[in-house]
Structure 1
Amino acid sequence: MEKNGLFDSDEEEEKIEYKPEVEAPDQNLGETVEVHPASRETQLLTESDVSPVSKNDLGDDASSEDDIEETQDLSENKFQFDVPYPNVQEEDLTWSVSQPVKAGHISYTVTGEDKDGPFQGSRRYKDFYSLRQALVNRWPGVYVPPIPPKQSVGNKKDKFVSHRMHLLDQFMKKISKIPHLIKSDEFQMFSKPAGDISATFNSLGNISPEDLRKRLENELEVSTELEEALVNQSREQVNDFQAFLKKIIPTLKTIKEEAKKMVSSREVMNKRTSALVEAMSQYESNGLIKFADDDISRMVIDNPEDPEMKAKAEGIGKFYSNTFKDFYFWIRSTLGDIEAALDAVNGRDKVVQNKVKLLNKQKSEKSELDTINSGKKTWKSLFQSTSSKQNRAVFLTSDIEKLENDAKELDVIIKMINCYIAENIIPTFKERQIKDYYEFLNYIARREINNCAATKFFWNDFTKNENIPADSK
Structure 2
Amino acid sequence: MSIVNLDETEQNQHQDLKESQDIQIDIITFDQHESLLDTYTYYIIKGKDKIGFFEVYRRYKDFISLRDILLIRWPGCFIPGIPGKKMFQGNDTKTASERLRFLKQFCNKMKLLPNLYYSQEFSQLFLRSKDKEIHKTFEQMPKPKTSELIQKYQLNFIELQGRDIDQTLDKKIEGFVEKLKNNQIQLKLAKKYIRDLYQSQEQYNQSLEKIMTMHLPNYEKQFIQTYQNNRCDNLLLTNQNIKKQLDTQYNQNGIFKRRNIDKLYEYIRQELKDIKAFYQSLKTKKEYEEQKKKLEAKQLETQQELNNLNEGKNPNFFKNIFNKQTPEQLKSHLNIQIQTNQNELDNLQNLIDIMQAIIGFIEIERFQDLKIKFYSVIIKQVSELEQKLIDEQIQYWQYIESQSSNLINQLQFGSQEGFNKQQFNQPIEQQQEEKEEVEQNQPYENENPNEINQEENNNEEINQQVNENENEGENEDNQQQQEDEVEVNISQQEIEDENQ
Structure 1 Cα separation of the partners of residues 341 and 236 of structure 2: 87
1:456 is aligned to 2:394: yes
Instruction: Describe the shift of the 1:249–1:286 C-alpha distance in structure 2 as closer, same or farther (beyond 3 A).
Output: same
Contact 1:297–1:303 (Cα < 8 Å) also in 2: yes
Q: Is the 8 A contact 2:246 2:252 kept in 1?
A: no
Q: Which residue of 2 aligns with 1:325?
A: 262
In structure 2, the partner of 1:273 is 208
* Corresponding residue for residue 466 of structure 1: 406
1:143 matched to which residue of 2? Answer: 78
Kept in 1, the 8 Å contact 2:288–2:348? The answer is: yes
Q: Deviations over 1:229-266 (max 9, x none)?
A: xx322222122223333454465356445544543432
Give the structure 2 partner of residue 66 of structure 1: none
Write out per-residue CA displacement over residues 343-395 of structure 1, whole angstroms, 9 at most, x where no aligned residue: 23333222322222221221222122223333324353473466254433322
Q: Which residue of 2 aligns with 1:101?
A: 33
Aligned to 1:128: 63
Is this contact kept in 1: 2:30–2:41, CA < 8 A? no
- Higher deviation after alignment, 253-262 or 354-363: 253-262
- Picking from 336, 347, 353, the partner of 2:290 is 353
Partner of 1:34: none
Deviation at 1:117, TM superposition (A): 6.0
Residue identity opposite 2:308 in structure 1: T
User: How do 1:280-291 and structure 2 match up within 5 A?
Assistant: 280-291=216-227
Could you tell me which of 413, 417, 426 is aligned with 2:355?
417
Aligned residues: 385
Q: Which residue of 1 aligns with 2:442?
A: none
Cα distance in 1, alignment partners of residues 244 and 30 from structure 2: 40
CA distance in 2, matches of 1:382, 1:424: 50
Distance 2:407 2:29 in 1: 56
Distance (whole Å) between structure 1 residues aligned to residue 45 and residue 398 of structure 2: 50
Shift of the 118–367 alpha-carbon distance from structure 1 to 2, 3 Å rule, reads: farther
1:281 and 1:305 mapped to 2: Cα distance?
Answer: 14
Read off the aligned partner of 2:278 and give its amino acid letter. A
More helix by share: 2
Instruction: Determine the C-alpha separation between the residues in 1 that align with 2:241 and 2:51.
Output: 68
Give the direction of change, closer, same or farther, for the CA distance of 1:266–1:307 in structure 2 (3 Å limit). Answer: closer
Q: Which amino acid aligns with 1:412?
A: N
Q: Which amino acid aligns with 1:136?
A: L
**Structure 1 residue aligned with 2:452:** none
Cα drift, residue 322 of structure 1: 0.1
Quick check: 1:224–1:416 contact (8 Å CA) kept in 2?
no
Mapped pair 1:164 → 2:95: no
Larger Rg, first or second structure (1 or 2): 2
The whole-number CA distance in structure 2 between the counterparts of 1:327 and 1:195 is: 34
Change (3 A) 1:368 1:97: farther
Residue in structure 1 matched with residue 235 of structure 2 by the alignment: 299
Q: Distance in 2 between matches of 1:303 and 1:118?
A: 55
Distance 1:249 1:310, change over 3 A: closer
- SS of equivalent residue, structure 1 residue 137: helix
AA aligned opposite 1:333: Q
Q: Give runs of aligned pairs for residues 222-301 of structure 1, distance below 5 A.
A: 222-223=159-160, 225-227=162-164, 231-249=166-184, 252-253=187-188, 255-256=190-191, 259-260=194-195, 262-277=197-212, 278-301=214-237
1:392 equivalent among 314, 326, 330: 330
SS in structure 1 of the partner of residue 85 of structure 2? coil
Q: Secondary structure at the match of 1:155?
A: coil
Q: Which has the higher contact order (CA 8 A, sep 6+)?
A: 1
Instruction: Calculate percent identity across the aligned residue pairs.
Output: 23
Matches of 1:313 and 1:344, distance apart in 2: 51
Partner of 2:311: 374
Give the unaligned 5+ runs of structure 2: 4-17, 413-500
Q: State the Cα distance separating 1:210 from its structure 2 match.
A: 1.8
* Offset from partner CA, 1:425-460 (integer Å, 9 cap, x none): 212322332343344334323433444433333333
**1:317 deviation in Å?**
4.3
Letter in 2 for 1:441: I
Q: In structure 2, how many angstroms separate the alpha carbons of the residues matched to 1:385 and 1:290?
A: 107
Q: 1:212 and 2:152 equivalent?
A: no
The equivalent of 1:344 in structure 2 is 281
Contact 1:115 1:183 in 2 (8 A): no
Amino acid at match of 1:106: Y
User: Does the Cα contact within 8 Å between 1:114 and 1:183 map onto a contact in 2?
Assistant: no
What do the CA deviations read for 1:182-207 (whole angstroms, capped 9, x no partner)? 44344445454889744544444432
Residues 6-47 of structure 1 deviation map (CA, whole Å, 9 limit, x = unaligned): xxxx9958x67xxxxxxxxxxxxxxxxxxxxxxxxxxxxxxx
1:225–1:430 Cα change, 3 Å: closer
Q: Distance in 1 between matches of 2:132 and 2:215?
A: 64
* 2:34–2:40 Cα contact (<8 Å) kept: yes
Matched-pair contact (CA < 8 Å) for 2:260–2:386: yes
Question: Distance between the aligned counterparts of 1:304 and 1:157, measured in 2?
Answer: 36
Question: Residue in 2 aligned with 1:48?
Answer: none
**CA distance in structure 1 between the partners assigned to 2:164 and 2:384 by the alignment:** 49
C-alpha contact (below 8 Å) 1:110/1:121 kept by paired residues: yes
Deviation, structure 1 residue 107:
5.4
Return the letter of the residue paired with 1:422: G
The 1:137–1:222 alpha-carbon spacing in structure 2 relative to 1, beyond 3 Å, is farther
SS in 2 for 1:127: helix
CA distance in 2, matches of 1:11, 1:201: 27
Contact in 2 for aligned 1:289/1:296 (Cα 8 Å): yes
- Provide the rounded CA distance (Å) in 1 between the counterparts of 2:327 and 2:138: 38
Decide whether the 8 Å contact of 1:245 with 1:338 is kept in 2. Answer: yes
- Give per-residue Cα distances to partners, 1:391-447, cap 9 Å, x unaligned: 333222112122223222322332332222222221232233234334433432343
- Look up the match of 2:252: 316
Deviation for aligned residue 1:213: 1.6
Q: Distance in 1 between matches of 2:130 and 2:387?
A: 50
When normalised by structure 2's length, the TM-score is 0.65
The aligned counterpart of 1:40 is none
Mapping of 1:14-163 within 5 angstroms?
92=25, 98-103=30-35, 104=38, 106=40, 108=42, 122-151=57-86, 154-163=89-98
2:345 corresponds to: 407
Partner SS state of residue 151, structure 1 = helix
**Matches of 1:456 and 1:112 in 2, distance apart?**
39
Once residues 276 and 96 of structure 1 are traced to their aligned partners in structure 2, the CA distance between those partners, rounded to angstroms, is: 38
Cα distance 1:375–1:155, how it changes in 2: closer, same or farther (>3 A)? farther
Aligned-partner Cα distance in 1 for 2:250–2:395: 15
* In structure 2, distance between residues paired with 1:395 and 1:196: 45
